[in-house]
């Protein structure tokens, strides 16, 4: 369990998804599936896919600009850029470095990509907090940005129906008034959710049943740990924001922590599983809808390939 000693405050949120919408009916023309089958098992109705000319940088930069505008800050006050992704444009340079360049940030701005799969944004918050503890700058930019449509086998109905492209971002700062606790972990497993480093078959491969079991055991435990360390009860938490992978997973998590499902924000119907982008997209969308208010308490939890997990107790 980690506590950011100076606390952490979310100053601004942003998100961006490609304009191209791919519905369940669209997929039924490509692979043996249908809207009822997908919706019943996942809760997903549509997702966004990139066009051929789009890049991860395009998604990340749009989300970053929205977050900076929402924060109302001068980009030159940003002291670090941390970007979570499983599918960067290049192995190097990192997408984060390209974001730093595009935003015109100082060359003394540490910028890097990290890969913790669908837990990446939660990991990124802790990495960025560490940079801020050593920085003269006030803010850090944390982004989750994914181009998963580029690694989908469109003949495999067990995976191609699940994922979508998109990016979410947050501007954060250290704050004595806003407590922040996080729990991060990894089980070191490459059996259940893999993107092989193979030029011929670089597609997402997943054992859905095993990932499901991992999620419904790990996420409730993480939620309970964060509630306990923060000194709250479950009823004190205003919103629970889980990684948007499967509606059934979120329903079971709500049941296991004994809370109403309407306190668990869900938008996977519209975006599918956007991996590290799912939690920041959800937070940005909630902010856009006026659902996030000063003084609220949130718990956000991600889980993914690795097998990794990451959760945080957040005060707004």
The CA distance from 35 to 32, in Å, is 11
Residues near 171 by beta carbon (within 8 Å), at least 6 away in sequence: 10, 11, 12, 13, 67, 68, 70, 71, 73, 78, 139, 140, 141, 142
φ/ψ of 10, rounded to 5, equals: -90, 120
Opening angle at CA 13, ends 10 and 19, nearest 5: 160
Question: Could you say which of 118, 160, 242, 287 is catalytic?
Answer: 118
Strand 180-189 to 205-206 pairing: unpaired
> For this structure, is 287 an active site residue?
no
Question: Could you say which of 56, 246, 273, 287 is catalytic?
Answer: 273
Structure tokens at 53: 């000319």
> For this structure, is 243 an active site residue?
yes
What does the H/E/C string look like for 187-200?
EEECCCEECCCCCC
> For this structure, is 97 an active site residue?
no
Strand 46-48 to 21-23 pairing: antiparallel
Edge-to-edge strands of the sheet including 78-84?
A: 8-16, 166-174, 139-146, 78-84, 111-114
Question: Could you say which of 242, 243, 246, 287 is catalytic?
Answer: 243
The CA distance from 104 to 102, in Å, is 5
Opening angle at CA 169, ends 77 and 190, nearest 5: 125
The CA distance from 286 to 263, in Å, is 12
> Residue 244, class by beta-carbon neighbours within 10 Å (0-12 exposed, 13-18 middle, 19+ buried)?
buried
Give the catalytic positions in this structure: 118, 243, 273
């Amino acid at each position: 369990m980690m506590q950011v000693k100076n606390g952490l405050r979310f100053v601004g949120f942003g998100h961006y998804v490609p304009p191209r919408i791919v519905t369940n009916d669209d997929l039924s023309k490509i692979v043996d599936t249908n809207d009822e089958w997908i919706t019943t098992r996942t809760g997903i109705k549509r997702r966004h896919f990139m066009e051929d000319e789009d890049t991860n940088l395009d998604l990340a930069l749009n989300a970053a600009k929205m977050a900076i505008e929402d924060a109302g800050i001068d980009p030159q006050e940003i002291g670090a850029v941390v970007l979570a992704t499983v599918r960067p444009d290049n192995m190097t340079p990192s997408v984060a470095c390209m974001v730093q360049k595009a935003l015109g940030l100082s060359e003394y701005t540490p910028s890097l990509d990290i890969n913790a799969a669908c837990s990446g944004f939660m990991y990124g918050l802790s990495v960025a907090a560490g940079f801020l503890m050593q920085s003269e700058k006030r803010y850090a930019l944390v982004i989750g940005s994914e181009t998963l449509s580029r690694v989908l086998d469109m003949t495999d109905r067990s995976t191609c129906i699940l994922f979508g492209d998109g990016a979410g971002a947050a501007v954060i700062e250290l704050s004595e008034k806003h407590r922040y606790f996080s729990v991060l972990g990894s089980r070191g497993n490459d059996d259940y959710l893999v993107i092989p480093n193979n030029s011929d078959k670089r597609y997402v491969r997943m054992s859905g049943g095993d990932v499901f079991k991992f999620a419904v055991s790990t996420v409730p435990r993480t939620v309970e740990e964060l509630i306990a360390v923060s000194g709250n009860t479950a009823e004190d938490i205003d919103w629970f924001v889980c990684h948007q992978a499967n509606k059934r997973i979120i329903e079971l998590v709500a049941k296991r922590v004994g809370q109403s499902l309407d306190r668990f924000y869900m938008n996977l119907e519209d975006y599918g599983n956007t991996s590290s982008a799912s939690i920041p997209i959800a937070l940005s969308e909630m902010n856009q809808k006026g659902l996030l208010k000063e003084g609220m308490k949130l718990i956000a939890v991600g889980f993914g390939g690795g097998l990794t997990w990451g959760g945080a107790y957040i005060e707004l």
